[in-house]
Chains A and B, each alone.
Chain A
Amino acid sequence: MPNMQMTKTPVTEQDPKVRARNFKEVCLGYTEEEAKFEAQRCLNCKHRPCVSGCPVGVRIPDFIAKVAAGEFMEAYNIIKSTNSLPAISGRVCPQENQCEGKCVRGIKGEPVAIGRLERFCADYAMNHADEVEKVEKPQSNGHKVAVVGAGPSGLTCAGDLAKQGYDVTIFEAFHTAGGVLMYGIPEFRLPKAIVQKEIDNLKDLGVNVMTNMVIGKVLSIDELMKDGFEAVFVGSGAGLPRFMGIDGEALVGVYSANEYLTRINLMKAYLEDYETPIKKSKSVAVVGGGNVAMDAARSAMRLGAEHVYIVYRRSMDELPARKEEVHHAMEEGIEFMLLNNPTKIIGDENGNVCGIECIKMELGEPDESGRRRPVEIAGSEFVIDVDTVIMSIGTSPNPLIRSTTPGVEANKRGCLIVNEETNQTTKEGVYAGGDAVTGAATVILAMGAGKKAAASIDEYIKGKN
C-alpha cells in the first residue's frame, strides 16, 4: 500500500545559524527508515514520466521499488547502470525541473523526493563499500578515445566508454579532476571527498586521468589524433568569467566568482593549513542571481563576513538560482538587494574597494527570453558600503580549443557547434558536450551530453572498423 502523504518526507539539515559559519554539508540526507518511507510514496506508474525527465535515463520507479523493499544495494546498482555519478547528481541536480518536475505525485502535492533517494542510495553504497560488487575492469576492445576536460560531461563520457572496453584517457588542465564539481560547487553542497570517490570509481574501470595537461597548449587535438586516439570528446566547459565593464573592476577586492570559488573550493583557502590566501571580508556584494552567485555569497558568509548582499537587477521571480538554494541562502542571513544594478565600484585612496554604487530598477515589458526587462529608475543611484565585490554574471567557453583546432567551429557566443543527434563537432571524430556546447548550464545536462556523445563515439568507431 503506497504512502499517500501529500508532502515529501523531510530531511535533516544543519541548523542555519550554525552552518552559516562552517563548510560542512548542509543537508544530512535520509536515514534508512526515512528513505523507505519516502520510497513508498512512489506509485510505480506505468508511463514513468519521471524517467523522461532525467537526462541520463535513470530507471527511477525500479530503483525506488528496491529502496521501499529495503534492498538498498540493488537500488544502487540500478541507478549505477545508467548514471556514473549518482552521489553527485542526487545532490546538485535541479530535480524540480527534471525528474521530480514530471512526477505524478507532484500534481496534487509534492513530488516523490527522487533526488534525496538517489543520494541516499549512493551514500549507502559508499558507506557499505565492502558489499559493493567490485567492478571488473572490462575486457579491452583495443580502441583509444581521448576526453578533454574532467568535469561532469567528460567523466560521464569516459565512464560509459570504459564500460564498453574503450581505452580512455582524460586530459585535465587543473591538478585535480572534477571540473566545476571540484572548483565551483562548495563543500557544503557537495563534499569533495564524494567527488573524489566517484572519480576513483572511474579509475577502477580503467579510465586513465592525466592532470596538468592544458589541451591547446601542451598538446593539440590534432596531435592526440595522430597519437592514435580514434575519437576525441571535448568537455572543456564554460569557464571564462565575464565582468560588467564598469568603473572600478580592477580595484583590490573585486573577484570573479570563478576566482573566489576556486580559491575556496579547489585551493581550500578557508583552511588554515593550506597556503592559498583569500580576502577576509567584512561586507560583500555578490553581483548576479544564479546558483554560482548563491554559492559565492554563502561561502563569503562562512568566511566570516558580517553582511553579504546579493545584488540582482530583476526581482525574486526571475532569480535563476534554484529555489532551494535561495531559501538556504536566506536562512543563513544573506541579504537580497533585488531590482538593483551596479553602476560603478568605488575605491579608497589605496585602491581598495570601499563601496558599490547601484541604481534602482523596475520591470518593464518582457524581452526575447520572456523575462520582464529591467529598466533603470533615473536618479535613484545609491551606495552600499562593501569591501569586496564578487562578479557572478556568467561565464562563456574558453577559446583555447577552438582557436587551436582547425575545423572545429563555434557560434558567435563561442560555443562549439555540434550535430544535435550525435554531438559530433564540425570535425570528423571530434565530439563535444556540456557547457562547451551550451554555454553555462547544469551538471546533469552536461552528464546527459557526455552520455549521448559516448554512444555516438561507440557507433562511429565501430562503423569505421
Chain B
Amino acid sequence: MYKILKKKQLNDSITLMEIDAPFIAKKALAGQFIIYRVDEHGERIPLTIADYDREKGSITIIFQTIGASTKELAMLNEGDSILDVVGPLGVATEYGDVKRVAVVGGGVGCAIAYPQAKALHKMGVEVDLIAGFRSKDIVILEDEMAAVSTHFHLCTDDGSAGYHGFVTNKLKELIDGGAKFDEVIAIGPVPMMKFVCKTTEPYGIKTIVSLNPIMVDGTGMCGGCRVTVDGKIRYACVDGPDFDGHKVDFDELMRRNSTYKEQEKAHLCRLTGGVRNA
C-alpha cells in the first residue's frame, strides 16, 4: 500500500498527489513514470513522475480526470492509500550538449514539462517554457513554471491569459524571431506533439516527445504500448517513453489509443452511476 501524503487540486480536473514510495523516490529521474492500480478491481494506468523527494521518500504525480481510473484516484484523499505503485519505469530523458531548449507543455502535459524545465534550468541551460491551455481558468503551475524558465511563455487558445494562440504559433514566432534552440521537448496530447514536430521539422531542430500509448505491465512483457518509430516497432515502456518526434508515426498512435473508447465510456458511466464506489 502506498499512502497519499498530500493532495492538491490544481484546477477542476487536474490533481496533484504526493505519495509515500521510498524505493521509487530513491531512483526516479525526469522522464520516468509509474504504473498504479487503485484497488483490487482496478486497471493498471501509467503516470509520469512529476517530482520526487529522495530524503522524504516521496514522489509526486499530477493527473487529469479523464476516465474511470483517474476519477477513482482523484476520489482518494490525504491519508488514504493506493494499492499498487510500481516504478520508476522507462528510460530517463537524456539531455544532449545543449545551450538553449524550448520545453513545450500542453494542458496536463505541463505537469511533466515542468520537471524537464527544472532539470535543464539546474544544468544552466537557457530554457524557454511554452505552456498552452484552453483558457485562463484551467492554468496550472504558473508560478512554478515561471521560476524554472529563462523565458516563460503562457499561451491560451482563447486569449484569456498570456499569448493568444496555440503553443505551435508561439514556438514558430520565437524561432522566426531568431531564438536558436538546440532542442525542443514536447509533452502533451498526441495531436499537440504531432504539430510541434511539424513546426520544428522544416528548421531541422531536434524534437523529443514523451509518448503516452496504452500500457498494461509497463515492463516490456506485452507489447501493448508498441509504437512505430523510424519504421520500426518500439515498446514505449522500455525503449521510451521519449522518442525522436520527427520519426514517430503519430496517426497510428492516435488510432491505437482509441482501441477501448467505447469500453472506457461504459466504465465511467458505471462509476458515476454509483455501481461501484471507490
Query: In the complex, how many angstroms separate the beta carbon of A33 from the nearest chain B beta carbon?
Result: 39
Binds A, one of B8-16, B37-45, B109-117, B140-148: B37-45
Binds B, one of A254-262, A287-295, A366-374: A254-262
Residues on B with beta carbons closer than 8 Å to the beta carbon of A262: 216-217, 221-222
A214 is an interface residue with CB less than 8 A from chain B: yes
Residue of A nearest to B252 (CB): A250
Residues on A with beta carbons closer than 8 Å to the beta carbon of B255: 252, 350-351
Query: In the complex, how many angstroms separate the beta carbon of B74 from the nearest chain A beta carbon?
Result: 15
Interface string of A210-232 (1 = CB under 8 A from B): 01111001110000000000000
Tell me which of B221, B224, B238 has the highest count of chain A C-beta atoms within 10 A of its own C-beta.
B221
Q: Are A240 and B267 in contact (CB under 8 A)?
A: no
Tell me which of A173, A273, A277 has the highest count of chain B C-beta atoms within 10 A of its own C-beta.
A277
Residues on B with beta carbons closer than 8 Å to the beta carbon of A351: 252, 255-256
Number of residues from A at the complex interface, CB < 8 A? 36
Q: Which residue of the partner chain, among A239, A249, A252, A400, contacts B233 with CB atoms under 8 Å?
A: A249
Q: Are B221 and A240 in contact (CB under 8 A)?
A: yes
Binds A, one of B127-135, B186-194, B258-266: B258-266
Residue of B nearest to A237 (CB): B221
Bound-state CA distance A256–B235 (Å) is: 12
Q: Are A400 and B220 in contact (CB under 8 A)?
A: yes
Residue of B nearest to A213 (CB): B23
A250-B252, A275-B42 given; A212·B85 CB < 8 A: yes
Q: Are B258 and A267 in contact (CB under 8 A)?
A: no
Binds A, one of B50-58, B86-94, B153-161, B198-206: B86-94
Please classify the interface of chain A as helix (H, G, I), strand (E, B), loop, or mixed, using the class held by over half of its residues: loop
Tell me which of A218, A239, A245, A398 has the highest count of chain B C-beta atoms within 10 A of its own C-beta.
A218
Q: Are B217 and A275 in contact (CB under 8 A)?
A: no
Residues on A with beta carbons closer than 8 Å to the beta carbon of B209: none
Q: Are A175 and B43 in contact (CB under 8 A)?
A: no
Bound-state CA distance A277–B255 (Å) is: 16
B162 is an interface residue with CB less than 8 A from chain A: no
CB contacts between A and B, total, < 8 Å: 104
A175-B84, A250-B228 given; A267·B216 CB < 8 A: yes
Q: Are A252 and B259 in contact (CB under 8 A)?
A: yes
Q: Are B222 and A218 in contact (CB under 8 A)?
A: no
Bound-state CA distance A267–B24 (Å) is: 23
Query: In the complex, how many angstroms separate the beta carbon of A26 from the nearest chain B beta carbon?
Result: 25
Bound-state CA distance A212–B88 (Å) is: 10
Q: Are A267 and B44 in contact (CB under 8 A)?
A: yes
A174-B217, A212-B84, A263-B216 given; A274·B41 CB < 8 A: yes
Query: In the complex, how many angstroms separate the beta carbon of B49 from the nearest chain A beta carbon?
Result: 12
A140 is an interface residue with CB less than 8 A from chain B: no
Residue of B nearest to A272 (CB): B270
Tell me which of B87, B227, B249 has the highest count of chain A C-beta atoms within 10 A of its own C-beta.
B87
Residues on A with beta carbons closer than 8 Å to the beta carbon of B260: 277, 279
Query: In the complex, how many angstroms separate the beta carbon of A223 from the nearest chain B beta carbon?
Result: 10
Q: Are B276 and A273 in contact (CB under 8 A)?
A: yes
Residues on B with beta carbons closer than 8 Å to the beta carbon of A250: 226-228, 233, 249, 252, 256
Residue of B nearest to A241 (CB): B223
Q: Are A241 and B88 in contact (CB under 8 A)?
A: no
B27 is an interface residue with CB less than 8 A from chain A: yes
Q: Which residue of the partner chain, among B23, B222, B238, B249, contacts A241 with CB atoms under 8 Å?
A: B222
By a beta-carbon cutoff of 8 Å, the part of chain B in contact with chain A is: 23-24, 27, 37, 41-44, 68-69, 83-89, 216-217, 219-224, 226-228, 233, 238, 249, 252, 255-256, 258-260, 263-264, 267, 276
Q: What are 23 residue pairs bridging A and B, where the CB atoms are less than 8 Å apart in the complex?
A: A173-B219, A175-B37, A175-B44, A175-B84, A212-B84, A217-B88, A218-B24, A218-B87, A218-B88, A219-B27, A239-B221, A245-B233, A250-B233, A258-B223, A259-B216, A259-B224, A262-B217, A273-B276, A274-B41, A274-B43, A275-B69, A277-B267, A400-B238
The 5 closest A-B pairs by CB, nearest first: A259-B222, A239-B221, A277-B263, A351-B255, A212-B86
Supplied contacts A243-B223, A250-B228, A259-B216, 4 more A-B pairs, CB within 8 Å: A175-B83, A250-B226, A262-B221, A398-B219
